[in-house]
């Protein structure tokens, strides 16, 4: 078994494809997209409410945990259509009046354990060689942003880190950051 602490973009695509086999494909695809594209901790994902979303402005309020910096993120085109699909399906669920974006069957917010179980199931369906857990999506976000050449301070802000020491792990292992150093 692979000991990586993050999922690759290819593995994430496979998981997102695997969500189509589940009983709640719109919900599951949406929640994993939000987790990855916004670098969410699983508890942050569970605690998103409908009032945290502004679909007109295309923004989401992220309430960071662990003394992190809460902030507003623009919703991306990688998330918006799937969020809209989930919201349209969610309106007809028995817990549609609950404040949570992802309500559980029993009426509260979806649990961390349920998200972990779903990700493990979809990882298996996708044929991953690594057993995924939700925090791997957050790490994948950090590494993906570093691979895109995003400044370390911006990644820090995006992930809500108060201390940059928690952010540099994403850029320190990225060899691409050295390309062109002598051409400047």
Dist CA 144 CA 36 (whole Å)? 10
Is the whole model's pTM more than 0.75, yes or no?
yes
49-83 tens-digit pLDDT: 999 999 999 999 999 887 778 899 999 999 999 99
Distance CA 18, CA 21 (A): 6
DSSP 8-state symbol, 143: H
Which residues are part of the catalytic machinery? Answer: 41, 66, 135, 138, 161, 170
Report H helices in 51-151: 80-90, 112-125, 135-147
User: Which residues sit opposite 49 in a β-bridge?
Assistant: 100
The answer to whether residues 164 and 136 touch, using CB atoms and an 8 Å cutoff, is no
Quick: pLDDT tens for 126-156. Answer: 999 999 999 999 999 999 999 888 988 999 9
The domains of the chain, with CATH numbers, are 9-174 (1.10.443.10)
State how far the Cα of 114 lies from the Cα of 51, in Å rounded to an integer: 23
The answer to whether the CB of 26 falls within 8 A of the CB of 93 is no
Question: Predicted confidence band at 175 (pLDDT cuts at 50, 70, 90)?
Answer: low
């Amino acid at each position: 078994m692979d000991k990586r602490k993050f999922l690759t973009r290819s593995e994430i695509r496979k998981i997102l494809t695997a969500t189509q086999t589940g009983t709640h494909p719109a919900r599951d695809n949406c929640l994993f997209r939000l987790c990855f594209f916004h670098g969410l901790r699983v508890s942050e994902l569970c605690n998103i409410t409908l009032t945290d979303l502004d679909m007109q402005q295309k923004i989401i309020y992220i309430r960071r945990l662990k003394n992190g910096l809460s902030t507003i993120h623009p919703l991306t085109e990688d998330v918006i259509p799937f969020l809209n699909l989930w919201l349209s399906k969610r309106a007809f669920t028995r817990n549609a009046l609950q404040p949570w974006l992802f309500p559980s069957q029993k009426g509260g917010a979806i649990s961390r354990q349920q998200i972990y179980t779903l990700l493990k199931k979809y990882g298996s369906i996708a044929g991953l060689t690594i057993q995924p857990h939700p925090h791997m999506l957050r790490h994948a976000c950090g590494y993906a942003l570093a691979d895109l050449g995003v400044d370390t301070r911006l990644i820090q802000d995006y992930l809500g880190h108060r201390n940059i020491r928690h952010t540099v792990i994403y850029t320190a292992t990225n060899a691409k950051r050295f390309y062109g150093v002598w051409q400047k």
